[in-house]
Amino acid sequence: MISQKPFLLGLLILILILLATIPLYIPPYPVISLTSIIMYIIITVSWTIFSGPTRYISLASAAFFGVGVYTSAILGHILPLPVVILIGGLVSFILALCIGLLTLRLRGMYFIIFTFGISELIRHSLLWWETKIMGTVGRWVVAVDHVVVYYVILVIFILALLTAYLIRRSRFGLAMRSIGEQEEAATHIGINATVVKTTAFAISAFFMGATGAIMATRWTYIDPKIALNPLFSFMPVLMAIFGGTGQLYGPIFGAAVFAYLEEILITKFPYYYMLIFGSILIVVILFLPHGMVGLVQNLRKRGVKRQNANS
């Protein structure tokens, strides 16, 4: 029987090689579409770094992504692209630290509402600033070749995936899971819950901000409604729930499927695609509480039981 870990590692390397060579032999439009899919995967994996083990549902993803977008719009004309991306990630990291220190003492519905409120506050504040102070809404961003954007987003994806994997296998990840299981008990055994949660929150925000900084160069024109679209807060949650957060490949699968569906449905059913997404989510919550990963694991267990029974 093939060992699972070497098989998955080999499959991951094969997929990464395939992704790295795709722009060499396919037309520009599929590359652009794949860039959007990888963007959603990064945001979802980043969201899972914090929310998966701690079970704190954050709706601030749009804020961190939008901060990265605006960083690129403001600094892209005067600084090199790698520096702009790094600054976009760092600004989001610092913003998440500030938000985390203020809000991570809240729990449950209060934390969810507060994080979404922060995202909306930043969006409307930027809109007010540009309308009342600047006299115009929106900014032009320095355009970058779509192949360059693709490779940069691919590098960010690899770094986010590696970070998520290392955190899951570390004592830091164990502390987060302890907080998710029973925060009071974790605090009693010496875990500084506030520091752990705030650090994980900031790490996840870094990759969202860096992703926003590079994606802004593909859009060329941005405004607060584009940069801080509420969908960037809700979609990662839907994608992670659909894929399942029990394994690292769950959010990747969920994000890839949902992002691909969005590409199709938004063109064919522009007025109904969110209704279709909502219906899918309801079905998953009712019948697949652990997502598609949980379904695969259950089917595998049943297969093993049948095999043992027959033998």
Q: Are 69 and 213 in contact (CB under 8 A)?
A: yes
| Whether the predicted model's global pTM rises above the 0.85 cut | yes
Task: Return the pLDDT at 2.
Answer: 44
Beta bridge partners of 222: 139
Domains of the chain by residue range: 29-310
Q: Could you report the per-residue pLDDT of 237-270, keeping only the tens digit for each?
A: 888 888 877 777 788 888 888 888 877 777 777 7
Mean of all residue pLDDT scores within the chain: 85
Q: How many angstroms separate the Cα of 157 from the Cα of each of 66, 117, 134, 163, 301?
A: 18, 28, 35, 10, 31
- Report the phi/psi class of residue 182: left, alpha or beta, with left for phi > 0 and alpha for psi in -120 to 50: beta
Q: Could you report the per-residue pLDDT of 15-38, keeping only the tens digit for each?
A: 888 888 888 888 888 888 899 999
pLDDT bin (cut points 50, 70, 90) of residue 308 is: low
- Which residues 6+ apart lie within 8 Å of 50 measured at CB? 56, 58, 176, 197, 200, 201, 203, 204
pLDDT bin (cut points 50, 70, 90) of residue 301 is: low
**Amino acid in position 293:** V
In 3D space, the residue among 247, 231, 256, 280 whose CA is nearest the CA of residue 116 turns out to be 231
